[in-house]
Amino acid sequence: MSSASPAVRPGTPSDLDRIFELYNQATLFQLSKGATPWQGFDRGMIIGEIDQHHLWKVVDNNTIAGIFSIAYEDLVWQHHSGSALYIHRIARNRHYHGAGLVPLIIDWCRQRALLNQCRYLRLDTFSANAALVEYYVRCGFTLKETFTVPETELRLPAHYRGASLALLEMALSH
């Protein structure tokens, strides 16, 4: 990253093409690592996240270094109590691999969760991706459980259906 601090900003409709480029890059990276890949995302869903200020971008010198989305409710975690901020779909520009982008995103989300009186920061990933699960543990998350999404769950993107997910959580102190 540049010498100036990267900034987290809301995604905008003018970012849509770049957002989908980053999702495609992330999917290719997942495939190259033998991980379960994302299966694409509905453009309308992403526009809705932008409109609701749930899709964010990390900007470094006018370059979108990465994107992620947040939510305050999550179907996968519905049987867990406690207010939480959920992080979804972290995707980074391949030129920012190893540049500390994910810890920056996690810290930004932690601060936002605290501002919103959330007790937890949560995320999920495919449980078969042991390296990514371990990475998130090193970032301060605790593996809470492995959960298999029912095949019949149609409210989530297709790659979730029947997937075994690692549910990771970070308790927050106020």
Here the tokens at position 80 are 């867990």
Return the CATH number at 16: 3.40.630.30
Instruction: Say which residue the tokens 């010498």 belong to.
Output: 3
3-state class of 150 per DSSP? coil
Q: Model pTM?
A: 0.92
Reported as a single tens digit per residue, the pLDDT across 15-52 is: 999 999 999 999 998 888 888 788 888 899 999 999 99
Instruction: For 76-123, write each residue's pLDDT tens digit.
Output: 998 888 899 999 999 999 899 889 999 999 999 999 999 999 999 999
pLDDT at position 2 is 57
62 band by pLDDT with thresholds 50, 70 and 90: very high
Q: Does the pLDDT at position 1 exceed 70?
A: no
Q: Is residue 54 part of a domain?
A: yes
Number of domains the chain contains:
1
In a domain, 74, yes or no: yes
Q: What are phi and psi of 153, to 5 degrees?
A: -75, 105
For residue 172, being part of any structural domain is answered with no
> Which range of residues forms the domain containing residue 108?
7-122
Q: How far apart are CA 63 and CA 57, in angstroms?
A: 10
